[in-house]
Amino acid sequence: MNGITKLNRRQFLQAGIGSGAALALAVSAPPAKAALFAPPGEPKPAFAPNAFVSIGRDGQVTITVSRSEMGQGVRTSMAMLVAEELEVTWQQVRIEQATGHPKFGNQNTDGSRSVRTLFQPLRQAGAAAREMLERAAAKSWSCPPEECRGAGGEVHHKDGKRRLAYAKLAEAAAALELPENPKLKKHADFKIIGKDIKGVDVPDIVHGKARYGLDVTVPGMVYASVEHVPVVGATIESFSADEAKKVAGVLDVIKLDSAQPPVVFKPLGGLAVVAENSWAAFKGREKLEVKWNAGPNGAFDTEAFAKSMSETAKKPGHVVRTEGDVDAAFAAADQIVEGEYYVPLLAHASMEPPVATAWVKADSCEVWAPVQAPQRTRTMVAQMLGLEEDRVTVHVTLLGGGFGRKSKPDFVLEAVAVSKAVGKPVKVTWTREDDIRHDYYHSDSVQYLKAALGKDGKPTAWLHRTVFPSIGSTFSPEAKHGSEGELGLGFSNNPYAVPNVKLEVGEAAAHVRIGWLRAVCNIFHAFAINRFVDKCAATAKIDPLAYRLDLLGEPRDLVFSKEEESSPYKLNTGRLKKVLQVAADKAGWGKSTPKGQGRGIACHYSFHSYIAQVVHVEMKNGDPIVRRVDVAVDCGTVVNPDNVRAQMEGAVVFGLTLALNGMISAREGRVLQGNFDTYPMLRMPEMPEVQVHLIESDALPTGIGEPGVPPLAPALAAAIEAASGVAVDRLPVRPARV
Amino acid sequence: MTNKNIKVNGKTHSVEADPKMPLLWVLRDLLGLTGTKFGCGAAHCGACTVHLDGVAVRSCVLPLEAVGDGTITTIEGLSEKGDHPLQRAWIEHNVPQCGYCQAGQIMSAAALLASSPEPKDEDIDTAMAGNICRCGTYQRIRAAIKTAAKETGAKP
Ligand code: FES
Ligand code: FES
């Protein structure tokens, strides 16, 4: 759901009027300056026609970005959209970060949709401002507005002689009516969109000046670290904080209630050690003595759970999609192919662990945190404290990675609880162990597939059962299986043309908190489907690329639900075939490789983007060394090409990390991994060469943050199989380190 | 608690702290130098990398008492004008994504270039293996190190 689309255009363009946005700066800013927060006490901008644009009397152009920056480049690309239509140069722009507020429309930064859903509204916000400036110029020149045109931060008259800077027009423009229907530029006239624009925060980052959640300091602030309940739903039976309180610098120990189902975004609970600095808080934690009641999840064991999911996958589940008669086709089949695929629980492990600073005052609250959902955070903080929402301010810092973890404000609410208890501003920092052991994990899953192959080797019947604990379980303990939304992530929208199809979902209960992780259910669905297509192709003795191209059939739009009929974003098989072909061509698909080496290919459609990847692997002592990855991506109109390349490079690393090493396991309810020694990340020596190939397109822009992830694991598995003959059907490739 | 003078980025600071407190938290919580990051607290990730007498060290496991009279350099003090060849190369290659690991990456790379001005791929692998980038910017980091190396190598 996107709030922006719920506001009509006029509401959107008026959003934030009179809200005292106070965003302009009195000082002149260097090129494309990035800031997070405007210093307090600044003069109101002369012209602020909507929540996203303001122009000061000094000409300072400020663009407010409403979505959260976690490395996906949104502060840059959103500002590009506004600047393009506002007709200012990139160097004139200053970027600020919105606090959580409904005036910005939906601020949830997830689902790879910021650019997709804001491509039109943000350009309109810029265009509306420009038209008003043009009309203000027309007024002062007493000419028709058609003779005036904004460009480079000035309005030019068509006589080529007269021009007025936006700064001079700002006040007059502010008095004018908002345009009903601001005119947008043709794609061919874009000056900023489509160019390689560097990340706006990069200069601050390389000088150590960028501010993340971890870097917040508030006068009088104390520090805290929380010994969380070891199992979700566990409670404290007894505890002693005496020794902890003796640690130099420790100020207090606070008991936090433990979250009971539905856990939603409630703080997990445990004991908060409050101290004069982070280190003292960590040391204090080591001295706590606690006896826990493990509660109903205390027997959870990931290995046993995987077995139970496998049992479930062998039996019929709830039918999600059916075409033709699979049973009859299986009965009549020449050849049957079966496969079972497993992907374990995964943790986000963003480089910056969860961290939040909260200051609960008498009748208000302020928080500073790296959150992907500032409005949700604001609402939940207000509810928790019994305050009106307008008494709560959520400042969004840069996120040191998010990947979906920071969509859940549990760690912010935790800081609020501690601040309320101590009556001071407090920063709660999670350790890496807290992060890995108390995540909202990516579901573990078992996928079962069965196909009947005809004489030509093509499937005549296709049965796929997916089993995984649903994200819905976090919100309602009754959620027994994957939701429609989760199943739409690469399962129910399987694009392969098979006459008889049956797709089923099996039940699986959750014993840990389950949540969104970059690409979500697409990860295990893409893994299983690509692996299984390879298996069918191998059985049929057909090249896996040719097999896929054939199975995708004629280029056409596919529709999987009623809502999709009117959607501008339909899965087009021709676009998926195109990325397959490009990735294959660029990677030298079909050319022979030396012994012990091999290539694998996979494709996947997600977040309305089309991605294919070819992985080239060399086996060394049974371990795969990834030499090269070719990525072909069709994400429609490309707003910032270099950023798309960066996201694909990053997705390759994310995919390799999960495929090679990603595994969270639990015994007696407790997660065994804790830090990067047991939950390893890909490192520099393992980095392959990544080649990204962008498909030129003027279709609507679609997602780039997530879609690069799903094809990597199956392409890697296929490459390993090609190089070594070993079929990888369970992830991760390498054995666990616990 | 001890009272100790430490030299950071050319300035001497007097700090009062547990001698076992890792330098990371001294820098961040006591001196307000927040450019150096916390990623693991166990020498696994490199986010906290600073220089001690020019050598890259993980400040999360370096107790204050072990700093001695050593000179500390953090990302804030890597170059006076913010124009270290690596900082410029990082901008040129648009390296950072979330950016959180990058201070540590740059400090590790700076120590590498100081000791081997024209590093080969294997040298880069070895020097940078301790620095995790969850966003996956390794390809650009490698390219940026080479760009910076070329520039410093070209100087007499
Ligand atoms: S924080 Fe020091 S190495 Fe990770
Ligand atoms: S840029 Fe995000 S962790 Fe490296």
A218 located within any domain? yes
In this structure, are A407 and A489 located in the same domain? no
Pick the closest to residue A553 from A537, A572, A533 (CA basis): A572
Which residue spans within A308-425 are E strands per DSSP? 318-323, 335-343, 355-360, 365-369, 392-396
How sure is the predictor about A38, in pLDDT bands with cuts at 50, 70 and 90? low
How sure is the predictor about A23, in pLDDT bands with cuts at 50, 70 and 90? very low
Residue A578: CB atoms within 10 A of its CB come to 18
Which residues of chain A make contact with B142, given a CB cutoff of 8 A? 684, 687
CA dist A371 and A170 (Å) reads 33
Specify the 3-state DSSP secondary structure of A34. Answer: strand
CA dist A175 and A326 (Å) reads 67
Residue in B29, B38, B76 nearest the CB of A208: B76
| Residue whose token pair is 């939906």 | A106
How sure is the predictor about B154, in pLDDT bands with cuts at 50, 70 and 90? low
Pick the closest to residue A140 from A102, A166, A105, A110 (CA basis): A166
Is B63 in CB contact (< 8 Å) with chain A? no
End-to-end, the C-alpha distance of chain B in Å comes to 48
In this structure, are A306 and A292 located in the same domain? no
Distance A89 CA to ligand 2 centre (A): 29
A12 located within any domain? no
In this structure, are A181 and A257 located in the same domain? no
Q: Considering chain B, what percentage of its residues have pLDDT values greater than 90?
A: 95
CA dist A617 and A624 (Å) reads 6
Are residues A205 and B99, on separate chains, in Cβ contact within 8 Å?
yes
In this structure, are A275 and A325 located in the same domain? no
CA dist A120 and A115 (Å) reads 9
Task: Label residues A237-275 b or e (16+ Cβ within 10 Å = b).
Answer: eebebeebbebebbbbbbebebbebebebbbbbbbbbbb
CA atoms within a 13 Å half-sphere pointing along the CA-CB vector of A269: 21
Which residue spans within A276-384 are E strands per DSSP? 289-293, 318-323, 335-343, 355-360, 365-369
A·B CB contacts under 8 A: 192
The arithmetic mean of pLDDT across residues A261-275, rounded, is 97
Pick the closest to residue B118 from B143, B150, B87 (CA basis): B150
Strands A571-572, A670-671: pairing is unpaired
The arithmetic mean of pLDDT across residues A696-700, rounded, is 95
Read off the pLDDT of residues A167-200 as tens digits, 9 standing for 90 and up: 999 999 999 999 989 999 999 999 999 999 999 9
Which residues of chain A make contact with B87, given a CB cutoff of 8 A? 206-207
* Ligand 2 mutation target, pool B44, B95, B102, most atoms within 8 A of CB: B102
The arithmetic mean of pLDDT across residues A66-75, rounded, is 96
How sure is the predictor about A40, in pLDDT bands with cuts at 50, 70 and 90? low
* Ligand 1 mutation target, pool B52, B57, B58, most atoms within 8 A of CB: B58
The arithmetic mean of pLDDT across residues B93-115, rounded, is 98
pLDDT of A115 strictly over 80: yes
How sure is the predictor about A33, in pLDDT bands with cuts at 50, 70 and 90? confident
* Ligand 1 mutation target, pool B21, B37, B48, B133, most atoms within 8 A of CB: B48
Q: Considering chain A, what percentage of its residues have pLDDT values greater than 70?
A: 95
Boundaries of domain holding A269 = 213-296+354-429
Predicted confidence at residue A615, as pLDDT, reads 98
Taking phi over 0 as left and psi of -120 to 50 as alpha, with beta for the rest, A496 belongs to: beta
pLDDT higher for A254 or A43?
Answer: A254
Read off the pLDDT of residues B39-85 as tens digits, 9 standing for 90 and up: 999 999 999 999 999 999 999 999 999 999 999 999 999 999 999 99
For A675, name the nearest residue in chain B, comparing CA atoms only. B40
Is A430 in CB contact (< 8 Å) with chain B? no
Residue A381: CB atoms within 10 A of its CB come to 27
Contact A210, A154 (CB under 8 A): no
A27 located within any domain? no
Give, in degrees to the nearest 5, the angle at Cα A624 between A621 and A627.
125
Read off the pLDDT of residues A124-162 as tens digits, 9 standing for 90 and up: 999 999 999 999 999 999 999 999 999 999 999 999 999
Question: By alpha-carbon position, which residue is closest to atom 4 of ligand 2?
Answer: B133
pTM of the model: 0.95
Q: Which residues 671-690 of chain A have a CB within 8 Å of chain B?
A: 675-677, 681-685, 687, 689-690
- Residue at a domain's end among A402, A429, A456: A429
In this structure, are A473 and A365 located in the same domain? no
Among A11-15, A107-111, A722-726, B105-109, where is mean pLDDT lowest? A11-15
A16 located within any domain? no
pLDDT of A533 strictly over 50: yes
Which residues of chain B make contact with A217, given a CB cutoff of 8 A? 32, 34
In this structure, are A418 and A446 located in the same domain? no
Name the minimum distance, in Å, from the CA of A327 to any CA of chain B: 45
In this structure, are A364 and A398 located in the same domain? yes
- Residue at a domain's end among A188, A206, A224: A206
Ligand 1 pocket member B46 (CB < 6 A): yes
Contact A583, A622 (CB under 8 A): no
- Residue at a domain's end among A372, A404, A429: A429
CA dist A270 and A267 (Å) reads 9
Average pLDDT in chain A = 94
Q: What is the edge-to-edge ordering of all strands in the sheet holding A597-606?
A: A597-606, A609-620, A623-634, A689-694
pLDDT of A6 strictly over 80: no
What number does the ligand 2 atom closest to the CA of B136 have? 4
Predicted confidence at residue A8, as pLDDT, reads 47
CA dist A159 and A723 (Å) reads 69
Residue A685: CB atoms within 10 A of its CB come to 14
What's the alpha-carbon Rg for chain A, to the nearest Å? 27
Q: Which two tokens stand for residue A718?
A: 């296929």
Predicted confidence at residue A7, as pLDDT, reads 41
Segments of chain B assigned to CATH 3.10.20.30: 2-77
The arithmetic mean of pLDDT across residues A393-402, rounded, is 98
CA atoms within a 13 Å half-sphere pointing along the CA-CB vector of A379: 10
Predicted confidence at residue A21, as pLDDT, reads 28
Distance B95 CA to ligand 2 centre (A): 9
pLDDT of A436 strictly over 80: yes
Element at A642 (helix H, strand E): helix A641-661
Predicted confidence at residue A302, as pLDDT, reads 98
For domain B2-77, give the CATH number: 3.10.20.30
- Amino acid A154 reads E
Q: Which two tokens stand for residue A201?
A: 């925060």
Predicted confidence at residue A738, as pLDDT, reads 80
Query: What are the C-alpha distances in Å from A46 to residues A57, A61, A98, A666?
Result: 6, 11, 19, 58
Domain count of the fold of chain A: 3
Specify the 3-state DSSP secondary structure of B142. Answer: helix
Question: What CATH number matches the domain at B85-154, 1.10.150.120, 2.40.50.140, 3.20.20.70, 3.30.450.20?
Answer: 1.10.150.120
Contact A444, A344 (CB under 8 A): yes
For A689, name the nearest residue in chain B, comparing CA atoms only. B139
- Give the distance from CA A57 to its chain's centroid: 38
Are residues B82 and A207, on separate chains, in Cβ contact within 8 Å?
yes
Residue in B22, B35, B137 nearest the CB of A279: B22
Contact A639, A193 (CB under 8 A): yes
Average pLDDT in chain B = 96
The arithmetic mean of pLDDT across residues A591-613, rounded, is 98
* CATH number for the domain that contains residue A322: 3.30.365.10
Name the minimum distance, in Å, from the CA of A279 to any CA of chain B: 6
What number does the ligand 2 atom closest to the CA of A351 have? 3
Are residues A205 and B96, on separate chains, in Cβ contact within 8 Å?
yes
Predicted confidence at residue A387, as pLDDT, reads 98
Query: Ligand 2: residues within 6 Å at CB?
Result: A 71, 351, 401; B 96-102, 133-135, 137
DSSP letter for each residue of A264-298: TT----EEEEEESSHHHHHHHHHT-EEEEE--TTT
Residue B110 has phi, psi (to 5 degrees) of -65, -40
Is A401 in CB contact (< 8 Å) with chain B? yes
In this structure, are A617 and A696 located in the same domain? yes
pLDDT of A86 strictly over 80: yes
Q: Which residues 326-355 of chain A have a CB within 8 Å of chain B?
A: 349-353
Distance A239 CA to ligand 2 centre (A): 38
Question: By alpha-carbon position, which residue is closest to atom 3 of ligand 1?
Answer: B43
Task: Label residues A491-515 b or e (16+ Cβ within 10 Å = b).
Answer: bbbbbbbbebbbbbbbebebbbbbb
Predicted confidence at residue B110, as pLDDT, reads 98
pLDDT of A619 strictly over 70: yes
Predicted confidence at residue B31, as pLDDT, reads 98
Segments of chain B assigned to CATH 1.10.150.120: 85-154
Is B60 in CB contact (< 8 Å) with chain A? no
Q: Considering chain A, what percentage of its residues have pLDDT values greater than 90?
A: 92
- Amino acid A217 reads T
Ligand 1 pocket member B130 (CB < 6 A): no
Name the minimum distance, in Å, from the CA of B113 to any CA of chain A: 16
In this structure, are A141 and A57 located in the same domain? yes
Are residues A676 and B38, on separate chains, in Cβ contact within 8 Å?
no
pLDDT of B23 strictly over 50: yes
In this structure, are A231 and A281 located in the same domain? yes
pLDDT higher for A37 or A337?
Answer: A337
Predicted confidence at residue A690, as pLDDT, reads 98
Predicted confidence at residue A32, as pLDDT, reads 65
What number does the ligand 1 atom closest to the CA of B132 have? 4
CA dist A586 and A606 (Å) reads 22
pLDDT of A17 strictly over 50: no
A21 located within any domain? no
pLDDT of A666 strictly over 60: yes
Name the minimum distance, in Å, from the CA of B155 to any CA of chain A: 23
CA dist B39 and B48 (Å) reads 7
Q: Which two tokens stand for residue B8?
A: 């950071």
pLDDT of A548 strictly over 80: yes
Distance B48 CA to ligand 2 centre (A): 13
Predicted confidence at residue A598, as pLDDT, reads 98
In this structure, are A529 and A404 located in the same domain? no
In this structure, are A447 and A533 located in the same domain? yes
